[in-house]
Every structure is written in structure tokens, then in C-alpha cells.
Amino acid sequence: MTIEPVDFARIWLWNMKLQGRMCSQVTSFDSELSALVDRMFATMTIHEGIGLAAPQIGVFQRVAIVHLPRVFDKPQKVIVNPVIISGLGKSQLVEGCLSIPGDRVNGRVKRFNAVKFSYQDVTGETHVEEVGGLEARAVQHETDHLNGLFFTDHMSMFKRKIILQNHDRAIRQKVGEDLRSYYVTKEEQEAMNGACVGS
């Protein structure tokens, strides 16, 4: 049996339309969800990310993935309908986001060191887990995405503005075709007029 490679999706660049957009609860644990998850892993892998949320590829459902292979020998994790139940301790660490590429677009974010959270896997089974370190940070970052929040929302207005300006500058300097191979630009998102694509 040959396994067909899964196509990656283009990542939606940050813009005001993504900001604050709530994703809907997943109720069908079907082949469509599995296909979405496969596409998310393919997308995260080519960008060498450690996490990705469905809205980052234009699918506004509560689905995220986390994978930290280079840090710990952690297996891939699909987190559907995640809910952070409680958190322990707080610290600051530098974060970035696949939807905000560029130079000097990272910044320190204060988050829980460890979290207890519930989620469903791709089959719909519910899990309650406690995770710490970078995994806890990734879970918080991806859960934020499902509520339309970016890591920049945890910063001062001043720092947020600098990061988004640096990001804008990087995007303007990119060659159009190269950019459009991997990202859905703000202009394209405007042209979609709010339509949900990517699924």
C-alpha cells in the first residue's frame, strides 16, 4: 500500500479579522476531522513549528496540534475542544507565531508553567492531563488561537505594535509569489469577504 503525501495548507497571516474570532466546538469526529488534522501536521512540519491551530489555516473549529520532538521525545498530540482547567506558577518566555513571520517578531509572554487541561482526541475520546514546561506553553498558545487570541495580546500595546510593524515590514519585503505559496495574505483574506476556506 502506498501512502499519498498530504498537502500542506497555506497559513493565514495575522490580521484584524482573525483577531478575536472565536472558533466553534467540534461535534463530528469523522474522516473530515482526520483529514484536517493530517493537513495541519503537514503544514506545521514544513514550517518547523511546534504547534498549530486550525484557524491558522482558515478553519474556524476548536482543533489544535502540538509536537515537541526536538525538545523532549513527546508524541504528536491532537487537542480538540481543549479547556484549561487550572494553572500553576507563572514565568516569562520568548514566543513567536507561524501566523506572524518576520524578523524581530518574538517577544516575552507570561504564562502558567504547568496546566491541567481537558481535550478530546481525534476519535472523540476525552482526556484530562497535566503538562508542564514548553508543552504547557504550547497548549496555552494554541488554545488562545481558538479564542482569536495571539501571543501579542499578552504584551503591552507598545511591544505589540513593534512586533506587528516588524511583521508588516517583513511581509512587504517578500517576493509576492514566494509569499503566496506558503501564506494567505491579508489582501487575499479581504477578498474572501469573510468566507471560511481551507477546509
Select 97 or 179, whichever has its Cβ closest to Zn ion. 97
Catalytic residue IDs = 142
Q: Which is nearer to Zn ion, 20 or 125 (CB)?
A: 20
Running DSSP on this structure, what letter comes out for residue 45? H
Comparison of 36 and 50: residue with beta carbon closer to Zn ion: 50
Task: Say which amino acid occupies 173.
Answer: Q
The residue type at 74? K
DSSP notation for 97-158: -TTS-SSS--EEEEEEEEEEEEEE-TTS-EEEEEEEHHHHHHHHHHHHHHTT--GGGGS-HH
Q: Which among 10-18, 34-42, 90-98, 120-128 is the span making contact with Zn ion, rule CB under 5 A? A: 90-98
Site string for Zn ion, 47-86 (x = CB under 5 A): ----------------------------------------
Q: Is 97 in the site for Zn ion (CB under 5 A)?
A: yes
Are the CB atoms for 132 and 90 separated by under 8 Å? no
What's the min distance (Å) between Cβ of 4 and Zn ion?
28
Site residues (vs Zn ion, CB under 5 A): 97
